[in-house]
Chains A and B, each alone.
Chain A
Amino acid sequence: MLLTYYFWIKAVKSGSIMWSASCALAYFYMVSSWGGYVFLINLIPLHVLALMFTGHFSHRVYVAYSTVYILGTILSMQIPFVGFQPVQSSEHMLAFGTFGLCQLFSFIEYVKSKLTKTQFDTLFSFALVTVGFAAAGAGVVLWASGKIAPWTGRFYALLDPSYAKNHIPIIASVSEHQPTAWSSFFFDFELLVFMFPVGIYYCFKELTDANIFIIMYGMTSIYFAGVMVRLMLVLAPVMCVLSGIGISSVLTTYMRNLDVNQLKKSVTSTAQSSTRARRNDDSSSYPRKNEIAFGVVCMMTFFLMTYVFHCTWVTSEAYSSPSIVLSARSGDGSRYIFDDFREAYWWLRYNTDEDAKVMSWWDYGYQITAMANRTILVDNNTWNNTHISRVGQAMSSTEDKAYEIMRELDVDYVLVIFGGLIGYSSDDINKFLWMVRIGGSTEKGAHIKESDYFTPQGEFRVDKSGSPTLLNCLMYKLSYYRFGETYTEQDKPPGYDRTRSVEIGNKNFELEKLEEAYTTEHWLVRI
């Protein structure tokens, strides 16, 4: 993404086709890696439109944008996931429209340069009436007949954040899609949060083509980062760039006032008068320039040093631990490792048929595919909502109904994550309500209602007072099979779930349609 933007700025500044072609190639790389390429293909046309409105539209911009759009579009259509979307879906229409506008603008400029004003005016009004109406009519026909598809769910949710919650539970279920708390901004960015507006101010002071781009990038990405936590990663580079502009501008302004010679010149009198004269020559006069400049520079240095300390601390605390191997401190302070995930995946890899199919929740899809090398039903791409919903229905139904669904999907193994023995809180029982919501969101799962899984008082409980539907569903049975006889903590009855801190309600049951294949050392993964 940054490479694309870098080449784009280079292309706009130089007007060379080579930089524009490189920008298109970098854009192709971006399209092949992340669905967030839609942000690029909308920001670049927005930038061109902003340049048009502020009167900065020049031949360089025409050359840059036309080349980038044409090469970028045909390159992006090579990716199967994108296919024909650039000419059919609403998300790409802005780029298409701006392309047409560019051609029109340039052509009008060219004709204007060849005619006098009055001649140009008559020609222009004539063309506007004929061509304009035809084009507008064609556009309305295309939109009304549905040939241009409306915005897809995941991007519409960015403009209307309540859309996902009401219509598409699977988008609402991902924790990374929640709105960002201000504390995450400070946790990730610290000083940059304050230097970001300073950088924008300095960009406004000197409006070049590139500065307009960075302002737009900054404003759009800060809006999107506020809507969805995951998009902080789009905001991070532009935060750094704008803060860098801010800090360096502040330092340049104040360093200019630093008068190192004044310390030495207090010895000789002639030098003293010359310093005084120099002081009077400065355009904006306020007393004690040197001291204030020194103070500001020291303050900025202090901020930058604390920023470095903060960043290294945050990286070591929050961003350095793998989530596939868990660790905890035991009573005497030594580290205890839970390697259950890998244990289970290796068991799958070496003890099952090569064409065995594993059913699990979509969170573990990529891990099972990569480490256990087995076929799974749904994975983190969450591409097929109906299929995921079917898996959710299987997990939420009783064992008999679930067996029918599993036979239909040709499943050999079911994998669940259970944290009750060690107190691991990201297990499938804690995620279960999302499985119920997603399972009930499609046609075949219409009989699954979330309220059935709560107690009459509206609580989600797994103990004796839990709802019978919950206590007999497949997920419950697979998680708590044989758990009723297990002792987990001192002074607690057998079957005490350490994550939910309750004794489970349905203890001594047998599985009729499935059998237990493997449970890892700390019962984290059960197959």
Chain B
Amino acid sequence: MSQVGQVVGILRKLNEEYQSSTPKKLKLIDAYLVYVLLTGIVQFAYCLLVGTFPFNSFLSGFISTVGCFVLAASLRIQLNKANQSVFNVSPERAFADFVFAHIILHLVVVNFIG
């Protein structure tokens, strides 16, 4: 029991730390990530309940959410000032790449959705 209590305490501390130290831009991206995650969970739950009949539509929609999540997470990593040493892309370049990948992703998703 005490372990659960400890974990809850740690999670609360994590939340505090997060709220205070993250800049606004990154928090915006994080909110977007949470939203995309929720859409993905809703799609998967629907698939479990109703069945996979148009399997290509399910796959296309689900991969679209996973793709959006991954691309936004990559953008967040690249925009984070703490990681500046690892990459050598400017913020504008990071965003432009993000848009480029999204164009490809959505073209394919629309083609696959059937």
Tell me if A122 and B74 are in contact (CB < 8 A). Answer: no
* Closest partner residue, chain B, to A126 (CB atom): B7
- Residue among A14, A25, A77, A111 with max Cβ neighbours from chain B (10 Å): A77
Tell me if A17 and B104 are in contact (CB < 8 A). Answer: no
Tell me if B108 and A119 are in contact (CB < 8 A). Answer: no
Tell me if A16 and B87 are in contact (CB < 8 A). Answer: yes
Tell me if B86 and A58 are in contact (CB < 8 A). Answer: yes
Q: Give the shortest distance, in Å, between A138 (CB) and chain B (any CB).
A: 12
- Indicate whether A70 sits within 8 Å of B108 (C-beta atoms), given known contacts A14-B87, A21-B101, A126-B3: no
Q: Pick from A60-68, A157-165, A373-381 the stretch touching chain B.
A: A60-68
Query: Which A residues are in CB contact (< 8 Å) with B66?
Result: 70
A21, A63, A78, A114: which contacts B78 (Cβ < 8 A)? A63
Enumerate B1-29 residues with CB–CB distance to A below 8 Å: 3-4, 6-7, 10-11, 13-14, 17-18, 21
Complex Cα gap A68–B12 (Å) = 35
Specify the main secondary structure of chain A where it touches its partner.
Answer: helix
* Closest partner residue, chain A, to B18 (CB atom): A114
Tell me if A20 and B101 are in contact (CB < 8 A). Answer: yes
In the complex, B70 has a CB within 8 A of chain A: yes
Tell me if B93 and A16 are in contact (CB < 8 A). Answer: yes
Query: Which A residues are in CB contact (< 8 Å) with B71?
Result: 17, 67, 70
Enumerate A25-76 residues with CB–CB distance to B below 8 Å: 25, 58-60, 62-63, 66-67, 70-71, 73-75
In the complex, B46 has a CB within 8 A of chain A: no
In the complex, A84 has a CB within 8 A of chain B: yes
Complex Cα gap A66–B74 (Å) = 8
In the complex, B55 has a CB within 8 A of chain A: yes
Tell me if B100 and A59 are in contact (CB < 8 A). Answer: no
- Indicate whether A77 sits within 8 Å of B89 (C-beta atoms), given known contacts A62-B77, A123-B7: no
- Indicate whether A15 sits within 8 Å of B112 (C-beta atoms), given known contacts A62-B74, A122-B10: no
Query: Which B residues are in CB contact (< 8 Å) with A115?
Result: 10, 13-14, 17
Query: Which A residues are in CB contact (< 8 Å) with B108?
Result: 71, 74-75, 78
In the complex, A239 has a CB within 8 A of chain B: no
- Indicate whether A16 sits within 8 Å of B89 (C-beta atoms), given known contacts A73-B63, A84-B59: yes
A14, A24, A66, A77: which contacts B73 (Cβ < 8 A)? A66
In the complex, A300 has a CB within 8 A of chain B: no
* Closest partner residue, chain B, to A64 (CB atom): B74
Enumerate A110-140 residues with CB–CB distance to B below 8 Å: 111, 114-115, 119, 122-123, 126
Tell me if A18 and B97 are in contact (CB < 8 A). Answer: yes
- Residue among B10, B111, B112 with max Cβ neighbours from chain A (10 Å): B10
In the complex, A87 has a CB within 8 A of chain B: yes
In the complex, B44 has a CB within 8 A of chain A: no
Complex Cα gap A78–B109 (Å) = 10
Complex Cα gap A74–B6 (Å) = 42
Q: How many residues of B contact A (CB 8 A)?
A: 43
Complex Cα gap A74–B67 (Å) = 9
Tell me if B6 and A122 are in contact (CB < 8 A). Answer: yes
* Residue-wise interface mask of B (37-50) relative to A, using a CB-CB cutoff of 8 A (1 in contact, 0 not): 00000000000000
Tell me if B88 and A14 are in contact (CB < 8 A). Answer: yes
Query: Which A residues are in CB contact (< 8 Å) with B70?
Result: 66-67, 70
Tell me if B60 and A74 are in contact (CB < 8 A). Answer: yes
Query: Which B residues are in CB contact (< 8 Å) with A58?
Result: 86
Tell me if A17 and B77 are in contact (CB < 8 A). Answer: no
Interchain Cβ contacts within 8 Å, total number:
107
Complex Cα gap A100–B3 (Å) = 27
* Closest partner residue, chain A, to B17 (CB atom): A114
Query: Which B residues are in CB contact (< 8 Å) with A122?
Result: 3, 6-7, 10
Tell me if B100 and A18 are in contact (CB < 8 A). Answer: yes
Query: Which B residues are in CB contact (< 8 Å) with A126?
Result: 3-4, 7
* Closest partner residue, chain B, to A113 (CB atom): B82
* Residue-wise interface mask of A (96-111) relative to B, using a CB-CB cutoff of 8 A (1 in contact, 0 not): 0000000000100001
Query: Which B residues are in CB contact (< 8 Å) with A119?
Result: 10, 13
Query: Which A residues are in CB contact (< 8 Å) with B56?
Result: 77, 84
Query: Which B residues are in CB contact (< 8 Å) with A60?
Result: 86-87
Tell me if B100 and A21 are in contact (CB < 8 A). Answer: yes
- Indicate whether A74 sits within 8 Å of B112 (C-beta atoms), given known contacts A66-B70, A84-B59, A114-B14: yes
Tell me if A59 and B87 are in contact (CB < 8 A). Answer: yes
Query: Which B residues are in CB contact (< 8 Å) with A84?
Result: 55-56, 59
Q: Give the shortest distance, in Å, between B22 (CB) and chain A (any CB).
A: 10
Query: Which A residues are in CB contact (< 8 Å) with B93?
Result: 16
Q: Give the shortest distance, in Å, between B98 (CB) and chain A (any CB).
A: 6
* Closest partner residue, chain B, to A84 (CB atom): B55
* Closest partner residue, chain A, to B55 (CB atom): A84
* Residue-wise interface mask of B (61-93) relative to A, using a CB-CB cutoff of 8 A (1 in contact, 0 not): 001001100110111011000010011110001
Tell me if A78 and B111 are in contact (CB < 8 A). Answer: yes
Tell me if A25 and B104 are in contact (CB < 8 A). Answer: yes
Query: Which A residues are in CB contact (< 8 Å) with B74?
Result: 17, 62-63, 66-67
Q: Give the shortest distance, in Å, between B96 (CB) and chain A (any CB).
A: 8
Q: Give the shortest distance, in Å, between A369 (CB) and chain B (any CB).
A: 28
Q: Give the shortest distance, in Å, between A77 (CB) and chain B (any CB).
A: 7
- Indicate whether A16 sits within 8 Å of B67 (C-beta atoms), given known contacts A63-B74, A84-B55: no
Query: Which B residues are in CB contact (< 8 Å) with A62?
Result: 74, 77
Complex Cα gap A306–B11 (Å) = 68
* Closest partner residue, chain A, to B88 (CB atom): A14
List 7 A-B residue pairs with CB atoms under 8 Å apart, sorted by A's residue number: A16-B93, A16-B97, A17-B78, A59-B87, A66-B70, A74-B108, A77-B112
Nearest 3 A-B pairs (CB), nearest first? A17-B97, A63-B74, A18-B97
Q: Beyond A67-B74, A123-B11, list 8 extra A-B contacts (CB 8 Å).
A: A14-B89, A16-B97, A17-B71, A17-B97, A70-B71, A84-B59, A119-B13, A123-B10
